[in-house]
Chain A
Amino acid sequence: MTEESSTNGSEQFRKFVDDFLSTAAPALEDVVNSKAYGEMLGQAVGNLVALNRMNNDVMDLTVRNLRIAGRADVVSLHRQLARNEDKLEMVLEIVERIEEELAAIRRLGSETADRTAGPESSPARTSARKPTGKSSTRSSPRSPSDRD
């Protein structure tokens, strides 16, 4: 009987916790769905972002005063790299466009030659996309900005 009551005790405790949580859950979700919570959240986000920024600025100043490259320096380098990648990507797109135009011109040229040669000429070649078969890192520039 003692064993039974102990087992029942554990199960009862779990049931109590489950019942409590199943009551608390919808109540808390109602709170989260409220306008007041949304306003509190908006203020909290602003405060946390401000604190984060202050912390980062202090850390960065400390590091820079030690004559060590700080976060701002790394970010500046990152941005320069990103600009280079944008330019490369732009060049890649231009090169691809030129390749496609050349392929179209060649196709047109061979079709014209076939027509001139007569009905027994060889069939026109068609260009096909060829898989590279190997991985490559392509980092290229953004196209000129036409962003709003």
Chain B
Amino acid sequence: MWPAIEDMADLPASLRTYANIQLTTADAAVGVSPKEIIWTYRKTTLYRYRSSQRTHPVPLLLTFALINRPDIFDLRPGNSFVEFLLQQGFDVFLVDWGYADEEDADTGLDDYALEYIPRAIREVRRASGAEEISLVGWCIGAALTGMYLSVTPGAPVRNWVPLTMPFDAANTTYETLLGNAELDLDWLEQHAEYLPGAYVDTVNKMLKPVPNYIGTPLRLFNQVQDGTADKSSYQPMAKWVADNPNFPMRAFRQWVTWVYRENRLARGRLRLRGQKVDLSTIQQSILVVTATKDHIAPRSGTMPMLDVLTSPDVEHLDGVGGHIGLMAGSRARTDIWPRINSWLEPRSQ
């Protein structure tokens, strides 16, 4: 009987600790590696990370999706892909798309792929003095960089690393969710300048409702009760997950229509400003990275890309983890990051 009473007596303390962790999540330090602003354009900012050990002449430009923040590349000290790359001697740049608002309503995927990315690359070359760069894109960032490379045969890019890139949307959950007529894109474009980030986040979380809405908080509570809760590990990820920029309406409409409703990427039917987006024209060295438990950009939707690419130097890297966990989970540092580095290093001389 006494242990049961002890358990009950511990409950308020556990609840207090749990509440404290949740309520102070917004104060967690995310994306704190020292960096400088190199260039800005509208809401977009190009950063260069400070380093005293740059040994590879070919710099890296990291690009993330339009939804969620690029801080995932630099989540927290000790679990930061940026930190890792800097330690390996790379000159690391990151493009931050910023927080879209009403004034960005008419910004489309073509703008990001054909204006923002090439200008960012120009500024990377200017700041680093390099003739060529390595381009790393994650999720929508991978798609945008792929679009850019497809229509820019002379791009000053030596290596391309698409991480968990949505390519073939056939028979995916998103195709079902976004492909129905009830989602009236014409009406949305007329009446809204952007899709609020919170809506996008909710739709994504509802793909796995139990783990996202019950599993994660329950696991934290159990850890608090067991005394194994790691605030410094939980909070940065929780903060990043809750930080959702809006999706500019024109870009949203194009993304849904081109990628999910009409599957233009996989069918080779995508055109940007009249130019055909054909991934087979990309001749840079390519490392296609997929995640075994990715339910957002399933592995089965990325693999067909390997049949399209004709570059003489293409490799596929299959990592363990989910869409985000692949690069930001606890195993990333010892698994996927060294493998990406092994591929990049000889190609960055």
Contacts and interface: CB of A to CB of B under 8 A. Distances in A.
Interface of A: 2-3, 6-7, 9-10, 14, 17, 21, 24-25, 28-29, 32-35, 37-43, 45-46, 48-50, 52-53, 71, 75, 78-79, 82, 85, 89, 96, 128-132, 135-140, 142-143, 146-148
A2 B1 contact: yes
A52 B127 CA distance: 42
Residues of A contacting B: mostly: helix
B117 to A, nearest CB: 13
A82 B182 contact: no
A89 B41 contact: yes
Given A89-B41, A129-B125, A148 B273 contact: yes
Nearest to B193: A75
Nearest to B175: A38
A36 B192 CA distance: 24
A49 B3 CA distance: 52
Contact of B3 (A7, A34, A82, A96): A7
B334 interface: no
Given A131-B129, A142-B115, A43 B207 contact: no
Given A41-B203, A42-B180, A53-B191, A2 B39 contact: no
B338 interface: no
B9 interface: no
Interface stretch (B80-88, B211-219, B281-289, B301-309): B211-219
A49 B191 contact: yes
Interface in B181-220: 181-184, 187-188, 191-192, 195-196, 199, 203, 206-211, 214-215, 218
A42 B260 CA distance: 14
Range of interface residues on B (Cβ < 8 Å): 35 or more
Contacts of A71: 102
B188 A45 contact: yes
Contact of A75 (B48, B103, B178): B103
B126 A143 contact: no
A79 B105 CA distance: 10
B188 A139 contact: no
13 contacts: A3-B2, A21-B210, A25-B208, A33-B176, A37-B177, A38-B182, A39-B182, A45-B183, A85-B41, A129-B129, A135-B48, A148-B271, A148-B274
A6 B10 CA distance: 14
B103 A79 contact: yes
A130 B273 contact: no
